[in-house]
Structure formats: C-alpha cells, structure tokens
Amino acid sequence: MTARILVVDDVEANVRLLEAKLTLEYYDVLTCSDGATAVRLAASEKPDIILLDVMMPGMDGFETCRRIKADPATNHIPIVLVTALDGREDRIKGLEAGADDFVTKPLDDVVLFARVRSLTRLKLVMDELRERDESGRRLGVTTDGAGRLRGSGGRVLIVDDNARQAAGIAEELTREHRPVIETDAAAGLISSKTPVDLMIVNVTAASFDGLRLIAQVRSADPTRHLPILAVVDPADRPRLVKALELGVNDILMRPVDPEELAARARTQVRRKRYTDFLREKLDYSLEMAVTDALTGLHNRRYMAGQLQAFVGRAALGGEPVSVLVLDIDHFKKVNDGFGHDAGDEVLREFAVRLATNVRAVDLPCRLGGEEFVVVMPGTTIEDAHRIAERIRRDVGSTPFRVMGGREHLTVTISIGVAASTGPGDTPDALLKRADEGVYEAKASGRDKVIARAA
C-alpha cells in the first residue's frame, strides 16, 4: 500500500535519509525544511501522512502540528512527530497538539514503516468517507452533529489479565470516560460488539493471546472499525510490530504513563466519533437520495429501479406487478386559495393516508407535484383496483386539516390502475397505461378509479 508522504526536517541529511528509505519502499515523497512551508504544502498538496520533526528553528513541530490540525482542509491528515527527545513531556505535548503518533530518533525502520502502513489504512477510510460526505454536501444533503465530536465521555473496554495494570488504566480513564474491564479474551470479544468507543488490549497478557484477540476484532464486521490501543512492552519489538500490522490504531508502552494514556485515549475517541459522524452522514445522504424530502415516501429514482426489477421478473414468468398512479384533484386551487404551505400540508397528510392503506410489500412513491405512484408486486389488476378504491374512499371521507386546524379541506383523487402483461411489457408502458386511467378518471368527473388493461 503506497502513499504520499511529506517529510519536514531542518537538517538536510535527515531529510535525504528518510526520503531515500521511503522511496525504496515505493512511497511518493515530498520534502521541506520549515514549519511554515509544511503548513502551505499540507494545504496545497494534501499528503497522506506528514513526518514532522519537532526541533526546528522558528515554528517548531508542535506549533506546525497545531496549525495543520486547526485547518478543516488539512486536519484529517495523519501527523507523526519525529524527534530525538524521548521525554514524556514531549510525547504528551505532541499528542495534545493533535499528532497521531510519535517516534524517536534514531528511527527503527521496521516500526516506522509499520506505523506508516497503519496510518495509511486509516487515511484511506477517512478519505472515502470525506469524499462521499462532500458529494452529499454539494447536493445540499447535510446534517448537524459536530458538537458530538469531542474526545471525552467515551465507553472504553479494557481487556487485561493484569489486575493491577487494568485497575490503574481504568482509574485514570474514569476522569473523562466510562471504562469497563474484562480479564479474558472471550468476554472481551463479546463486549467489543456492544457500543464501545475504544478498546485497550494488553498484548503481553499471560492468560490469553492479545494479538489473536486483536485479529478477531479486526476480522468481524461489527468491530472492524473499532479503535484499538495496544499496551506493549517496549523491549518486545516483534510483538509491537505485529500489533501494528494487525491494524491497532495506537501503541501504549509499559509502564503506562497516566497522562500519555489520557492523551492517546482522547485522540482515539475523538477520531472514532468523527468517522462515525461521517458514516452517519453518508447513510443519511444515501437515504435522502431515494426519499422525497417533503413526504418521506420513496422518490421517482427509487421507484424506477424497483419497478424495472419487478417488471423484468414478471416478463420471465414471475408474479405480475401492478401500479397505481394517483393524482390529487384540483390541487392548484389549494395552492392558489390557501398558499403553498397549506398545499405542502395536504401532500404530507395524503402521503400518510396512502402509506397506511397499502400493504407492507407495496412501494408508495411521490413522482413530483401532486402525482404519486404505488408499485404493487405480486398483485393482479383486480386486487390492485380494490386497494385503489379503498385509498380513494379514505382520502375523500375525512377532510384535511391545514393552517393549524383553522381550515378543513375536502380532497379527492383520481387513480389509474394497470398490471404487467408478461413478455414484452416494460415499466414505461405499464406506467403509461395507468396514467391513461388517471386522464380518463379526470375527464369523467374525477374522484374515480379507472383500470386500464393492455
């Protein structure tokens, strides 16, 4: 898996060394030597990952990281801080600045590339979600939920057979989150499938294989995207690298530093909520793409696809499909006499009455304006006619209350009914026959149901 990586370091030798190593691994490498240029390149080039040196003159790595993360156009880019310093204060300061990871010089190539691969996988997911979110935004489909994207108040699952270590982690996390401890892998796997914002796994556990648990969580659909923080022994490099290869989101070295734990947990919870937010927006966008915004019924696009499938099956000898085309009589008079808001109220109430008078398998849809369609799979023209009459009577029997109940309007509808005829029939021909029924009903006085056979 390749990626575009921006290397930022004021020491030319360090830049050239990292560039050579990354290029040999087939990464596309950009370089610069100061924080201000890094901020500009992040905005213009949109790299997949930024390897950012901390100790630079002028704008140091911490401030550069803060500026990149403060810009909505670049805050999704993973940043790995690289420094010769190994103090806890620098790790915590880097994480609080928004860094996604923190490595020290001299760089361990195996660990570095494992972290790069892990962050590249994360970036691919984030890019896909953001791209689809932006498509929905261009179509005017937006949701408000940014206020939920904080990094506290998460439910954290701790899977650790070291009672003292687990209790210490839970005690620290209790300040901001809701931790739960499981001491064996089987219980941890079950708990991971409940609503959880972060999972912390001790991969050096004595009574279970922490790496196998991570692999099981990553391979299951319900938990595939659950953030995992692995607690590892810094001396056990093979296990550390394997955890990263299996897809853990972050590493926490033993002995666990409370402030570093808090900072890393906060980062992972915030990221989890951001990806969840994007997925919810994507689901909403997909739903809105096939839903009429005013009535909540399916729209023309959804109806066309479903009807094509039903008519195709009927043409191959399957069950027949019928359609109702419904048109509200004299709807223009409602808009002209009471205003478009009252007209919208009538359309919404009509949609409710329509949906409550058809079967669960039927598809009530709004074509546009005051015209509606019901697709009725497995239905003969005689049965469809009976259902259409039921809808017509229900609509006309009770006045529609509009304008806060101040006005009561009598509404009637004209309905055309048609059914598929087998081989050679098409969705357009089926809808045309039903539409002709509507015109005949209106021409003969309205408030009628007319069935049109082929």
Residues that are catalytic: 370
CA dist 220 and 230 (Å) reads: 18
User: For residue 303, what are the β-bridge partners?
Assistant: none
Q: Using CA atoms, how far apart are residues 156 and 149, in angstroms rounded to an integer?
A: 16
With 0-12 CB in 10 A as exposed, 13-18 as middle and 19+ as buried, what is 54?
A: buried
Residue 172, CA distances (Å) to 155, 156, 257, 397, 451 in order: 13, 12, 10, 65, 72
H helices of 250-409, in order, are: 258-289, 300-315, 331-338, 340-356, 381-397
Number of residues written out for the chain? 454
Query: DSSP readout, 339-372?
Result: -HHHHHHHHHHHHHHHHHTS-TT-EEEEEETTEE
- CB burial string 174-205: b at 16+ within 10 A, e below: eebbebbbbbebeebbebbeeebbbbbbbbbb
C-alpha to C-alpha distances, 79 to 48, 65, 67, nearest whole angstrom: 9, 7, 12
